[in-house]
Amino acid sequence: MPFVPARRSNLFIALLLLITLVSGVLAPPANAAEVVTALEIENDDEVHLYVDHDTAQLKALATLEGVATKKDVTATAVWATTSATIVKVDKGKLTPVGAGSAKVTAKYEGKTVAVNVKVDFLYDAVRLSADGTVAVELQDQPLSLTASAVESDGTLFDVTTAAVWSSSDQAVATVDDGKVQLLKKGTTTITAKYKGRSDSVTYTVASPYKALNLEYDGEYEFTVGQAPAQLDAIATLTNDLSERVNDKAVWSSSNSAVVSVDDGKLTFKGAGVAEIQASRYGLTAKVNVVVRLPYQALMLTPSKPVHMFLSDEPVQVEAHVANDFDTKLEVTGEAEWTTSNPLVVSVDDGRLKPRGAGAAEVVATYKGLQKKIDVTVMPVVNGLHLDETEMTLFKGEVAALPDVYGEDLNGTEYSFADIAEWTSSDEAVVVVENGKLKAKKPGVATVSMTIRGETDALEVTVREKALALLPQTSAYSLVRGETTSLPKVTALLEDGTELDISGAIEWTTSSPNLLVAGTTMKALLNSKVTLTGSYLNKKVTIPVTIEDKMTNVVVEPTAVTLNPKRSQTIKVTGKDSTGKTVTLTRSIVWTSSNPAAATVSGSTVRGVAEGAATLTATYQGQSLAVSVAVEPRLEKVVLSEKSAKLAVGGSTTFALTAYYDNGATKDVTHLATWTSSNVSVASVASGKATGLKKGSVSVKAKFDNKTATARVTVSQ
């Protein structure tokens, strides 16, 4: 770099600083806040507006410091009016409200600008063709009103269709383009508004009638299907003249399913009661009409469901009506016939013609009465058969009849049970009632099905119901590899008799580890298996435990003494062929000889009441037994004396009494253990205390963990 003298270098640096300073002054920072120097309204001449005729949009422009172009701030400025009843302002938009002058201002960033607004009405007034309060009567044709705008020179301008019309009570009258439709008695004010001006007229609406009545020459009781009857609506005018208003009144029926009404003409459709009402010019007349059935019953013959094959000839159904049991009137031709499915069956004056396989409902209707009949059309089939040919029932049991099937030409099966006829060869054994089989007594009977010459049979065996199955053995403990006979089982039948069913019962096992073959079972592998026997309606289950052979079985304890409600566990162990000790407690099934004294559940014996029982069990052919004595619970023992005084060489005898929870007592003097606190002063044995030398001792008697003490004093 070439050498620059110091003076020239300083001059160059100064020049750069000057350029930077000037650039900063001429170009403000990009993020500097704008500075508003002035605010104006574009075209700020006074604004002149007319109410409901026009509006105006003002524009607010802000002058920013250092910016040549003015900024439109109309939307962000704050606008205000000195009188909102004259003119409203929203973001610069002026809406005239009422005549007068007001000032509208805009504020933005501390600057304010204003403009004068003058508001006038376009017309001096709006005038209706009627004014004040007008009395009118209800009528069908609407009243006509015209609305005129009045200019300053008095000229009238028709604004009827341009005005906005309203009614203060639209229930009394409505208005549309000056057409006033009167609806009911009352008072309403009709108002027309146009260009801020309005005018009103009040109508007081009255009825031209004094009364409205319904008239009929006869009683208001009719029958379904009779010729229509004519009701007359008669209106009485205020001048006492009358007029018929059938075609002018508004008619209604409270139940058109019973009776319909058209200009007073009554048509009777169904039985019941309906209120007929006619209304006209604010008045209403009502009458109750009773419609009865002309007949009590409509009957169809045949009355039961009709079953037809597709190839059958048409079936004629007749319809009759009656009011008593003796007289019937055929109305087959007069009744109305309908079918729910014409693809299955068609009907013409009761004549049923099969059309396709399926089901349909045929309905006959005559003068308010209706009757239905179900029709089933079946396809052409090749042979019929029952879905089962043998059945076993218990006496008194009710069972469904078997289904009857037949195949059509396409090989599709259909059920024909609904049309089958059933007979029993022995109704003392089984009978067919209400489409069900009912077993009467033990025996065998054949129930036959017949449909148009086709037959099939069901053999029914009736047996006594078993109430319970009683096995000879309730549990087994078998040695692996051992074969033994299946248990004998007796069935307790409902008639109270017992039957040996050992040869008839069917046996199953819960595991292949126990094999049932013929009348024996063989234990294969060590496990716990459930042996289940089934006979008719009952089952019996027997637990079977398969184990290794035990060479020695020990029961602990072999004798138990319990208090009532107390229990104790019986432990059983054994040694297998290897000499290993095995716990068998849970494998033993104990039986109590006297459950009134002691019960046993699993390995736990529980005292019930005072007495004795023997628990017995069999394990792998070995008989096990535990004797149980149940005694009352000892509450305390009491000595006959609490103290005694003896001379040396003298003696006295204490008696010890045991008290039990059942209130019993027992002399246990000779059963107790007696001790002396100092045998050199006094000795005691079997309750007899003997003085040996001067002194004092405590004599204690202990029986069944209960103790009692007495003080013995020995003197010279």
Secondary structure of residue 239 in the 3-state scheme: coil
Tell me which CATH code domain 36-120 carries: 2.60.40.1080
Concatenated DSSP letters of 295-354: SSEEEEES-SPEEEETTSPPEE-EEEEESSSS--EE-TTTSEEEES-TTTEEEETTEEEE
Q: What is the CATH number of domain 466-547?
A: 2.60.40.1080
Query: Which tokens sit at 599?
Result: 């019960």
| E strand intervals along 82-218 | 87-90, 93-96, 100-108, 111-120, 125-128, 132-137, 143-144, 147-150, 156-158, 164-167, 173-176, 179-182, 186-194, 197-206, 209-215
Task: Quickly list DSSP for 57-83.
Answer: E--EEEEETT-SSPEE-TTTSEEEES-
**Adjacency order of strands within the sheet including 483-485:** 483-485, 520-523, 514-517
Residue 32 confidence (pLDDT): 53
Q: Which residue stretches of the chain have pLDDT < 50?
A: 1-31
Question: What pLDDT is attached to residue 711?
Answer: 96
3-class state of residue 267 by DSSP: strand
Phi, psi of 8 (to 5 degrees): -65, -35
Strands (E) across 587-692 are located at 591-592, 598-601, 604-607, 611-619, 622-630, 634-639, 643-647, 651-653, 656-660, 665-667, 673-676, 682-685, 688-691
- Give pLDDT, residue 380: 84
Residue with tokens 């422009």: 61
Domain ranges of the chain: 36-120, 127-206, 209-292, 297-378, 381-463, 466-547, 550-630, 634-714
Q: What kind of fold does domain 550-630 have according to CATH?
A: Immunoglobulin-like (2.60.40)
Predicted pLDDT of residue 475? 85
Tell which residue, 581, 712, 569, has the closest CA to residue 653: 712
297-378: in CATH 2.60.40.1380: yes
When the candidates are 1.10.357.10, 2.40.110.10, 2.60.40.1080, 2.40.50.140, the CATH number that belongs to 209-292 is 2.60.40.1080
Give residue 431's pLDDT: 95
Architecture of the domain defined by 634-714: Sandwich (2.60)
Residue with tokens 């809406």: 95
Identify the pLDDT of residue 619: 85
Between CA 444 and CA 457 the distance in angstroms is 13
Fold of 381-463: Immunoglobulin-like (2.60.40)
* Residue among 296, 297, 295, 291 at smallest CA distance from 270: 291
SS3 171: coil
Using alpha carbons, select from 294, 276, 324 the residue that is nearest to residue 225. Answer: 294
**687: its two tokens:** 């309750």
| Residues 413-462 pLDDT 10s | 888 888 889 999 999 999 999 989 999 998 999 999 998 788 999 999 99
Q: How far apart are CA 494 and CA 45, in angstroms?
A: 118
SS (H, E, C) 644-670: EEEECCCEEECCEEEEECCCCEEECCC
The two tokens of residue 711 are 């003080």
Q: Which strands make up the sheet holding 197-206, listed edge to edge?
A: 132-137, 197-206, 186-194, 164-167
Using one digit for the tens of pLDDT, what is the confidence trace for 579-638?
888 888 988 889 999 999 999 999 999 999 989 999 999 888 788 999 999 989 889 999
Top-tier CATH class for 127-206: mainly beta
The predicted pLDDT at position 15 comes to 46
Residue 369 tokens read as 């009465």
Distance of CA 43 to the CA centre of its chain: 75
Choose among 182, 181, 173, 177: nearest CA to 194.
177
Amino acid at 305: P
